[in-house]
């Protein structure tokens, strides 16, 4: 029996990175998974990995910066599987987004209102929308678990990427507030806070680890984390093993913030 046997889980951002690793891992642990992402071809690749591992699931392409799209995701999960036991919200953009949308990872003075709204919509609004639509299902069932993927940048200041850091900070305190508001109704809400992780989202800055001296200043472990290491953190918070964790921020950063 896997740690998620019999559970139905929505995993957003499932096309790449942490969301992809989580979808495959949760399926291996017995969950039926609905993977969501913007890009259909990436989702198909993730689903192929799930099926190769003997897992069960399906996929749905959606832009989660829209409230209507998030409503559709939750409805699709209910229509297909009859209930939802867990939401793992990993969808979001990071430094690599600036390659597609210049000006979105700057400091306040170099961020336009349009760039601010764009990143906030993807990184924070989507979290709000998904929680807004999944929580009524959890209340109806009398149970449910939310795991949001935030970042250590949500509580450590950076010289740039100010919209990103603000959104991740908002996600952390939204998660804590969900715990306070809904714990009595059988709902747990936690999040992980990754450090530097070797995923496409931060690919443009991973070359920092090529210099051992710089790598040591970033983290005592002198390497970036992996998507799978983050997925295991999500699995713990989603599983019954963490039944007394609520409002928790699980830092998984190789020791980066231990020096702060």
Residues involved in catalysis = 164
Q: Give the angle subtended at the CA of 242 by the CAs of 19 and 171, to the nearest 5°.
A: 50
What the block records as the tokens of 183 is 């714990």
Cβ neighbours, 10 Å, residue 40:
12
Question: Rounded to whole angstroms, how far apart are CA atoms 28 and 207?
Answer: 32
Question: Rounded to whole angstroms, how far apart are CA atoms 75 and 234?
Answer: 23
What the block records as the tokens of 214 is 């710089």
In this structure, are residues 12 and 19 in contact, taking their beta carbons and an 8 Å threshold? yes
Angle between helices 67-81 and 126-141 (to 10 degrees): 30
Count how many residues are written for the chain: 260
Cβ neighbours, 10 Å, residue 196:
21
DSSP annotation of 54 reads T
Cβ neighbours, 10 Å, residue 183:
13
- For 203-227, b/e burial (b = at least 16 CB within 10 A) is eeeeeebeeeeebeebbeeeebbeb
| 3-state secondary structure (DSSP) of residue 61 | strand
């Amino acid at each position: 029996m896997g740690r998620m046997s019999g559970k139905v889980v929505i995993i957003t951002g499932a096309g790449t990175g942490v969301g992809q690793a989580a979808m495959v891992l949760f399926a291996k642990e017995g969950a039926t998974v609905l993977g969501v992402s913007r890009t259909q071809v990436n989702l198909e690749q993730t689903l192929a990995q799930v099926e190769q591992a003997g897992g069960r699931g399906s996929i749905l392409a959606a832009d989660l910066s829209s409230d209507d799209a998030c409503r559709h995701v939750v409805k699709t999960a209910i229509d297909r599987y009859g209930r939802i036991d867990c939401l793992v919200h990993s969808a979001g953009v990071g430094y690599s987004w600036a390659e597609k949308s210049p000006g979105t990872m700057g400091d306040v003075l170099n961020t336009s209102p349009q760039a601010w709204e764009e990143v906030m919509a993807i990184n924070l609004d989507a979290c709000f929308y998904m929680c807004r639509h999944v929580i009524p299902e959890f209340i109806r069932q009398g149970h449910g678990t939310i795991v949001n993927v935030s970042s250590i940048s949500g509580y450590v200041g950076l010289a740039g990427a100010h919209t990103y850091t603000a959104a991740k900070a908002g996600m952390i305190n939204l998660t804590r507030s969900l715990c306070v508001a809904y714990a009595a109704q059988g709902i747990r809400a936690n999040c992980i806070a990754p450090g530097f992780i070797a995923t496409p989202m931060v690919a443009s800055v991973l070359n920092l680890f090529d210099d051992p001296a710089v790598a040591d200043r970033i983290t005592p472990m002198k390497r970036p984390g992996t998507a799978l290491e983050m997925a295991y953190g999500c699995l713990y918070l989603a599983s019954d093993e963490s039944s007394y964790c609520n409002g928790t921020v699980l830092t998984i950063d190789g020791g980066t913030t231990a020096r702060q």
